[in-house]
Amino acid sequence: MKIVISETGGRVDGLGEGEELAIYEIAEGRYKLIERVENPARQARMARGAAALAEARRRGAQALVVSEIGPRGFEMARSWGLKIYIYDGPVEEALAKLIKGELREPEGPTHRGGHHHGGHWRGISEDEYALLLKYTPRGGVAADLGCGVGRLCEALKDMASRVYCVDVDEEALREVEKIGAPNLSILREDVLHTSIPGGVVDVAVMSNVFHDLADKRAAVAEIARILKPGGYAILIEHKPGSPFGPPSFLKMSPDEVRRYFGDFKEVEYQDLGHNYALVFQKG
């Protein structure tokens, strides 16, 4: 079994607080250190625990050992099938107890602090940030279709090696240019017909755009064209009945969105407060 321990100075630390992630292989009653990596939570602007958890998943972990874990980290770990063990003490003690079967798995988060829909960083909520982080592979390629002034592009630039920021609004794209990141490819194009090469994108995002499109089937076809096999489409929309967003007659329920993505596999629904997110995977 491959485990990841969030570690600071030889002690088990919180998922988002540890200085390093130590990766161990445990087999036949023994453990072996495979590698140590800097905890990406140290560089994350938000959702530090989610950043560490995403890295643990990329490293092939089946389990985590942490001193504490919050609601978002707990939910993400469980959704990915990762075991969670809680221990507050030296790493060597934690490993010895894990081998003996003495570490406990929590029934829920160990604390509730910081989990809310209200937290924002430069226009993007903590929940949105964690969602992008969850489905954007490290060094992957992302596309924000209908990016507007680039609120999601600014977050994606720190997660992906290349981000296509697509919109028809020239003035909005001038704001995207001000982000000044070299890995942003800014395209003044219709999201239904982009110049993005086929099969190169790992995650495509549409945030409060889909409801406005006259030809939604063409939009889904374009998303399918640019995505790699196994790539993800994240659709964020305002909830019907929300006081925010477009007029009520334009708001789409989750089921209305789902009807257009019948050829995709739905992998997640997430409540984002006044919005919701649906995540689909290309077969």
What DSSP state is assigned to residue 103? P
Work out the pLDDT band at 45, boundaries 50, 70, 90.
low
CATH superfamily, with its number, for domain 2-100: Dinitrogenase iron-molybdenum cofactor biosynthesis domain (3.30.420.130)
Report the candidate in 208, 215, 222 with the shortest Cα–Cα distance to residue 252: 208
* Dihedral class, residue 112 (left if φ above 0, else alpha if ψ from -120 to 50, else beta): alpha
Nearest Cα neighbor of 278 from 247, 242, 220, 232 is: 232
C-alpha 229, offset from chain centre:
18
pLDDT for 158-171, tens place per residue?
889 999 999 999 99
pLDDT-derived band at 44, boundaries 50, 70, 90: confident
Fold classification of 120-281 (topology level): Rossmann fold (3.40.50)
DSSP 17: T
What length does the chain have? 283
CB 146 within 8 A of CB 164: no
Residue with the two structure tokens 């240019």: 177
DSSP labels for 187-241? EES-TTS--PPTT-EEEEEEES-GGG-S-HHHHHHHHHHHEEEEEEEEEEEEPTT
Say if residue 207's pLDDT is above 60. Answer: yes
Task: Tell me whether strands 141-145 and 120-121 are parallel, antiparallel or unpaired.
Answer: unpaired
| Domains in the chain: boundaries | 2-100, 120-281
Confidence category of residue 112, pLDDT binned at 50, 70, 90: low
Share above pLDDT 90 across residues of the chain, in percent, rounded to a whole number: 68
Residue 118: is its pLDDT beyond 70? no
| 70-104 confidence digits (pLDDT tens) | 877 888 888 778 999 999 999 999 999 999 999 98
Confidence (pLDDT) at 67: 93
This prediction's pTM: 0.70
Give yes or no for residue 190 having a pLDDT over 60: yes
Which pLDDT value is given to residue 214?
92
Tell me the C-alpha distance between 120 and 41, whole Å: 17
**pLDDT tens by residue, 250-273:** 999 999 999 999 999 999 999 998
Nearest to 151 by CA among 184, 118, 191: 184
- Asked if 94 contacts 67 with a C-beta cutoff of 8 angstroms, the reply is no
Answer yes or no: are the C-beta atoms of 169 and 148 closer than 8 Å.
yes
Q: Are 212 and 246 in contact (CB under 8 A)?
A: yes
C-alpha span between 178 and 174 (Å, rounded): 7
SS3 per-residue string spanning 127-179: HHHHHHHHHCCCCCEEEEECCCCCHHHHHHCCCCCEEEEEECCHHHHHHHHCC
Q: Is pLDDT above 90 for 126?
A: no
For 128-158, the pLDDT digits (tens) are 888 998 899 888 999 999 999 999 999 899 8
Task: Give the CA diameter of the chain.
Answer: 62
Does residue 114 have a pLDDT over 60? no
What mean pLDDT comes out for the span 186-193?
Answer: 96
Backbone angles phi, psi at 156, to 5 degrees: -65, -30
Whether pLDDT at 181 is above 50 = yes
Provide mean pLDDT across the span 35-40.
Answer: 92
